[in-house]
Structure 1
Amino acid sequence: MKLLSGSVLPTQPWELQGAESVGLSLSQFRFAISFLASVLVGFGLRHIRSRQGAFALFWKGAVSEHIFLTGFALIYYPFGNGVFHAVFTSALTYAIMSRFRTHCGTLTWMTIFPYLIANHVLQASGLSWEKGELDFTGAQMVLTLRLIAAAVCYQDGARSIEKLRPYAVGNRLEELPGALEFFAYCFASGNLLAGPFYEIKDFLDYASSRGDWAADGKPQPSCLRPALLRLAKGLLCAAAWLAMERRTGGAYLSSEAWRASSVPRRMLMVWVVGLTYRLKYYFAWGVAEAGLIASGQDFAGWEPETGRPLWNRYVNARVRRVEFQASLAKIVADWNVRTGVWLRHYVYERATPAGDRPGLWTLVLTQTVSGVWHGLFPGYWGFFLTSALMIEMSKVLYRYEQGWSSRLRDGMPWRILQALISSYVLNYSAMAFAVLRWDAMWRVWRELAFTGHAIIFGILLLGVVLPPRRRKGAGKDRHKRPDAAADQGEAKALQEGLKIEEEVHRREEERAKEPQELKKEQ
């Protein structure tokens, strides 16, 4: 690992001055520059794609080559020789896919995921990130999702369609992509900097102008305005994070001001610290989405009613919904959305035997995989295992709602109370994510009098002692509110925590119905 920690790019005086002026470490400063440059690279890629017919006269695979080279450069600048972790694991995965078609997904799980865990351990990534030092482990996390998904989709291509779920059918690979196409997918114009995850089938369609990206007589919609709006949102979140980090960042939880505060004040400050922590992710995902829009890859088709272009294929966070959502299950669905998509379709669904109903253990397994993917620090485990209990709590509240009148259930007092409970429990549990270490996690929770866990277990216990009863006539409400069916509430709440964008999922299911037709088009 130490052999891959250097770089051929020496540190420049202007980089040190720039990093100091904005209060960032050198690695954070280089990361920010690469990140912003990825938006410009996206516009350049869009230009090349629109003229790929002309470029094809000079060399084959111009688009894929451009994506790979620019992606490699954007990743190398902040991470240096660490980028060769990506080269090695990508080459290993491609070799496995080439040699072991029927088991390549399983073998990739058994090799690439442990490799990521080893990186977490050897680099002590969590503590490094806490100090503001970035290494390649974060990019390897994003790459791990892609490599496993690509291998599993290629393995699915050798299986009978009848044995696959609709999502798997729509994304299965019947043929092995070329090496250049595969490496372009892995690096994808700097997208390893912060994600988000997307399927290799979508990427290949995009690079070859198929599917939603096919010309089919329509002019290519302008991406300038939506890209600039996403970029502005990301930069606004970055400015807010820089302003708040020094006062209410993770370090505040061990400050004298925190220790001197009363429990009620600490409960209030938990929300502020949680917001500060989330702002840097809102920045990263906002800029990442701006780059995808600039390249045209985020294009999700046309709105049927208005004919307007949709730029929401790879939305990774819905800020207002996360901050003001009443349902914990739905908050999970709006935070780190694309990783949730991966967890849903490559862990949650595949851990549930065909014909069986998903249970608590399936959710715990999914959350455990998510925790290990983030790292092995106790704080990750504390957060994700608590989040599994949070979703169970949300299910209990959901079932109680089904026995209430619509006036009470949809009334403002209950919605406000539910939002306050959800927001506090979420931010309370997220403190484990912010401090990471076992002793610090328990200290913070103890200083909050374990109020978050008390709320969770109190509601779960209430659901056992006084089970929620269905209101008479609830079956009629089923037609008014499809998600209100009490007998489907449990599965619905579980799935909402890992759901995919509805419109994109609909198109994927439609594509799954005619896989042979797609094969002929290729």
Structure 2
Amino acid sequence: MELDMETMAASIGVSVPVLRFLLCFVATIPVSFLWRLVPGRLAKHTYSAFSGALLSYLSFGFSSNLHFLVPMLLGYTAMVLYRPKCGIITFFLGFGYLIGCHVYYMSGDAWKEGGIDATGALMVLTLKVISCAINYNDGLLKEEDLREAQKKNQLVKLPSLLEYFGYCLCCGSHFAGPVYEMKDYLEWTEGKGIWATDKGRKPSPYGATVRALLQAAICMGLYLYLVPYHPLSRFTEPIYQEWGFWKKLSYQYMSGFTARWKYYFIWSISEAAVIISGLGFSGWTESSPPKPKWDRAKNVDILGVELAKSAVVIPTVWNIQVSTWLRHYVYDRLVTKGKKPGFLQLLATQTVSAVWHGLYPGYIIFFVQSALMIAGSRVIYRWEQATNMALLKNVFALMNFAYTLLVLNYSCVGFMVSLSLSLSEVLSMRETIASYGSVYYIGTILPITLILLSYIIPAKPARSKARKQQQTDKCQLAADFFGHSDIELAFCHVLLFKVCSYNATLQVFWGVASKSRKVEGMFSIPNKKSIGGAGEGSVNNPEEWEVRPGGMLVQKRDLNSNQSCVPIPTIKIRVKYGSTYHEIRISSQASFGELKKMLADHTGLHPLDQKLIYKNKERDSKAYLDVLRVKDGSKIVLVEDIASKEKRCLEMLKTTRIEKSSKSLSQISLEVDKFAQQVKVLETTISRGSKVQLVDVENLTGVLMTCLVKLDEMVVNGELKLQKTMLEKKVQKHIETLDAMKLQNTIPRRNGDKILVKQNDQHSIGKGQKVQIQEKQKSLTAQRPMMQQTRMQSDSVVFTTKWETFE
């Protein structure tokens, strides 16, 4: 077997350890597929942990699992012993051990001899351990102090040791990523959240898996084709020093372009493995019918990298999941609340990324250089946004694109060669600086120059029109509701509504402020100990547990069960609304949403328009009273949510307008279908060689033109617009058929007889109505080019892309 491995390795030009790693890495795809067949929650966690440990042992040896065990146990111990600071403790302990491994393996000869070690997998594992500890720490913070990402990923309950190991080693996903959250892993394993199948929709991963595998094959094929022509080793050869400036610069681009396809191949394989397991599912699209999205495992956007219009967008398309981790757990947490992030936060984030990759000079120089690259691209982008001239905008956009291509490939010279040459060569400080100096440090001087110019030529962004457009939309909806065609009159209605709402809000808050001292005395300070959760002796039966809002795992409530003889107590709550108090009797285990429904009967406020404030904090409708320690005699303040009421009214107006348009469209469709039968009868008569009354043809044409006028006067969007267009084409087709009948009916017969058209005064349409229809036809014909031009202008949308990712 060893001889076969050596033969296979020699045939593809790699060492035996690297070949063994590649085989185990590709094996993560069938291993992840078998996870779908494992029954039960505990069995899935066991399979995830065992398969990951086995693949690590086959790839790197037994010592790799020992290395993985150290940060995993350090993080879990910190979460158990000291939860308030477990996040920062795990961060420094995890990175400290990772740096030690980087130093240890950097001093060996494994890389020089073509070997491979477990530091790459340890890097991914470290990020998982740190994120789990920080999210468990976030479970103690107040909800108003959390960002949206923290609210989504926070852990209220400590995961079990088996769940923790399964998350860290899941099916070999730690080999090359992607990094995902503990909460997502638990919901995926337990079939909850977006993975719940109770809605009858179950996404199929096979199409997305085949796409990822085809992408991996194309990437490997391009890499094998290009690497002989642009090897990274040429940077240390004398022939490179003999080239001119432009040839060196172009070779830097081509060598970086070639080396990147190797990373695309690795990430495509890991994406296929995570997708086929089902963990890569990220929700459904809003299209009709909805389609599954598989973005959770996506680690790179190939076209986004190679055709990046700005350096700011690079972190969002290259190593996507790690960039997301750095933003949530480093960049955002370095920004002081209420202040704007600056260059220091960006530089600190890039430094952490450099240390995470390894303590090599090439890595550190690259990430410091990338911070300058992004800052320089921001300057060009601000200049682009500050001008209103289309020509200058295009010039700045082209400048930013060329700048990104130049500086990106210049900066990555010290990074891309890390797996191709020995550590003593290009990754050394001297060789990295020499490669930059060969092109006169253009990729360093240019960003610094742009940063300095930003202080001399400050950019003042053009005023946004989003708020003005939003106000115009509200006025248009109000105009439709109140029956006015004048937008200015509708604006008065909107303004009057806002003034009344603002006055009511002042009255409510005036009453609350006058009793502020009494309220502070009424509300007790909550205990800092964790609430909820199961004891150590609980039975691990998944059917006996449920997840509360916020992610807390508690024992499932069964109101129909007779196992407990203790009845659910009813409590009395005093709710203050304005200057009035309402006493509500409700179950102690009810939710705040149920309380809002009961208050709607007493106050007349819609449940969606209510804000319940308990202990100086607004409470979510999904939260439970007993979990938040609402007891008998507790006091809650009710405030009207003006923004929610306004939003609900606008949605109601929009829905009413859509329903009205849909009803009108249905009526016109029924009329057209009735007239279509008459057209068919006339067409059948003429096809048999008979003649028809000319007045019947003209009358039918007139009523169809009336339908066409009604359709052109309608303004609809979405599916209704498509139905309207199809109905217009249908009416026009019938009118064309009638015109053809009219022409055919006027052709003289072979015997020379003319068709006698009888003028009948008893027409279904009178002379005056006929003249009115003809006038509408002429008006429609004259206005149609203008209407088409207006419609084209209204349908055109100006797309802008905000590359300021970190702001």
TM-score, structure 1 as length reference? 0.85
Q: Is the 8 A contact 1:75 1:192 kept in 2?
A: no
TM-superposed deviation, 1:518: 6.7
**What do residues 40-79 of structure 1 show as CA deviations (whole Å, max 9, x unaligned)?**
112111232xxx2xxx4xxx61111111111111222111
Q: Do structure 1's residue 26 and structure 2's residue 16 form an aligned pair?
A: yes
1:128–1:365 Cα change, 3 Å:
farther
Within a 5 Å distance, the mapping from 1:439-518 to structure 2 comes to 439-470=430-461, 474-476=463-465, 515-516=549-550
Q: Is the 8 A contact 1:125 1:137 kept in 2?
A: no
**What do residues 351-406 of structure 1 show as CA deviations (whole Å, max 9, x unaligned)?**
11222211111111111111111111111111111111111111110111122235
Cα distance in 2 between the residues matched to 1:263 and 1:192: 42
1:149–1:516 Cα change, 3 Å:
closer
Q: Is the 8 A contact 1:146 1:199 kept in 2?
A: yes
Which residue is equivalent to 1:4?
none
Q: Is the 8 A contact 1:428 1:452 kept in 2?
A: yes
Cα distance in 2 between the residues matched to 1:479 and 1:258: 58
**What do residues 453-493 of structure 1 show as CA deviations (whole Å, max 9, x unaligned)?**
1221222232223333445xx3337879xxxxxxxxxxxxx
1:355 to 318, 335, 338: 338
2:45 to 46, 64, 69: 64
Q: Is the 8 A contact 1:34 1:78 kept in 2?
A: yes
1:147 to 129, 133, 136: 129
Within a 5 Å distance, the mapping from 1:387-402 to structure 2 comes to 387-402=370-385
Within a 5 Å distance, the mapping from 1:332-411 to structure 2 comes to 332-405=315-388, 407-408=390-391, 411=394
Q: Is the 8 A contact 1:67 1:187 kept in 2?
A: yes
3-state SS, counterpart of residue 349 of structure 1 = helix
Cα distance in 1 between the residues matched to 2:47 and 2:167: 11
TM-superposed deviation, 1:150: 0.5
Which residue is equivalent to 1:324?
307
3-state SS, counterpart of residue 193 of structure 1 = coil
Q: Do structure 1's residue 76 and structure 2's residue 60 form an aligned pair?
A: no
3-state SS, counterpart of residue 45 of structure 2 = helix
Q: Is the 8 A contact 2:331 2:346 kept in 1?
A: yes
Within a 5 Å distance, the mapping from 1:241-320 to structure 2 comes to 241-306=223-288, 307-320=290-303
Cα distance in 2 between the residues matched to 1:382 and 1:479: 46
Segments of 5+ residues of structure 1 without an aligned counterpart are 1-10, 481-513
Cα distance in 2 between the residues matched to 1:364 and 1:126: 30
1:249–1:204 Cα change, 3 Å:
farther
Counterpart residue type for residue 35 of structure 1: F
Q: Which moved more, 1:186-195 or 1:252-261?
A: 252-261
Cα distance in 1 between the residues matched to 2:400 and 2:111: 33
Q: Is the 8 A contact 1:126 1:377 kept in 2?
A: no
TM-superposed deviation, 1:249: 3.1
Q: Do structure 1's residue 107 and structure 2's residue 107 form an aligned pair?
A: no
Cα distance in 2 between the residues matched to 1:105 and 1:517: 18
**What do residues 168-187 of structure 1 show as CA deviations (whole Å, max 9, x unaligned)?**
12111111111111001010
Q: Is the 8 A contact 2:187 2:195 kept in 1?
A: yes
Ranked by relative contact order (alpha carbons within 8 Å, sequence separation 6 or more), the top structure is 1
Within a 5 Å distance, the mapping from 1:223-242 to structure 2 comes to 223-242=205-224
3-state SS, counterpart of residue 294 of structure 2 = coil
Cα distance in 2 between the residues matched to 1:469 and 1:349: 25
Cα distance in 1 between the residues matched to 2:197 and 2:555: 14
Cα distance in 2 between the residues matched to 1:453 and 1:252: 22
Aligned length: 468
Cα distance in 2 between the residues matched to 1:257 and 1:367: 34
Q: Which moved more, 1:352-361 or 1:341-350?
A: 352-361
Cα distance in 2 between the residues matched to 1:129 and 1:316: 25
Cα distance in 2 between the residues matched to 1:160 and 1:476: 35
Q: Is the 8 A contact 1:126 1:375 kept in 2?
A: no
Q: Which moved more, 1:83-92 or 1:181-190?
A: 83-92
TM-superposed deviation, 1:132: 4.2
Cα distance in 1 between the residues matched to 2:227 and 2:101: 27
Which residue is equivalent to 2:414?
432
Cα distance in 2 between the residues matched to 1:328 and 1:126: 36
Segments of 5+ residues of structure 2 without an aligned counterpart are 418-425, 470-547, 557-807
* Greater per-residue helix proportion: 1
TM-superposed deviation, 1:129: 4.9
TM-superposed deviation, 1:248: 2.0
TM-superposed deviation, 1:520: 6.2
1:93 to 75, 92, 103: 75
Cα distance in 2 between the residues matched to 1:469 and 1:241: 44
Q: Which moved more, 1:282-291 or 1:255-264?
A: 255-264
Q: Which moved more, 1:431-440 or 1:282-291?
A: 431-440
Counterpart residue type for residue 361 of structure 1: L
1:401–1:71 Cα change, 3 Å:
same
1:296–1:29 Cα change, 3 Å:
same
1:121–1:478 Cα change, 3 Å:
farther
Cα distance in 2 between the residues matched to 1:520 and 1:232: 44
Cα distance in 1 between the residues matched to 2:187 and 2:271: 18
**What do residues 144-201 of structure 1 show as CA deviations (whole Å, max 9, x unaligned)?**
1000001111111122222221211211111111111100101010111101111111
**What do residues 98-130 of structure 1 show as CA deviations (whole Å, max 9, x unaligned)?**
222222112111211100000000100898557
Q: Is the 8 A contact 1:120 1:126 kept in 2?
A: no
Structure with higher Rg: it is 2
1:517–1:316 Cα change, 3 Å:
closer
Which residue is equivalent to 1:423?
405
* Greater per-residue strand proportion: 2
Counterpart residue type for residue 441 of structure 1: T
Cα distance in 2 between the residues matched to 1:126 and 1:384: 24
Q: Is the 8 A contact 2:157 2:553 kept in 1?
A: no
Counterpart residue type for residue 50 of structure 2: L
Q: Is the 8 A contact 2:372 2:444 kept in 1?
A: no
Q: Which moved more, 1:119-128 or 1:37-46?
A: 119-128
Cα distance in 2 between the residues matched to 1:127 and 1:320: 37
1:46 to 30, 36, 42: 36
Q: Is the 8 A contact 2:384 2:393 kept in 1?
A: no
1:209 to 187, 191, 203: 191
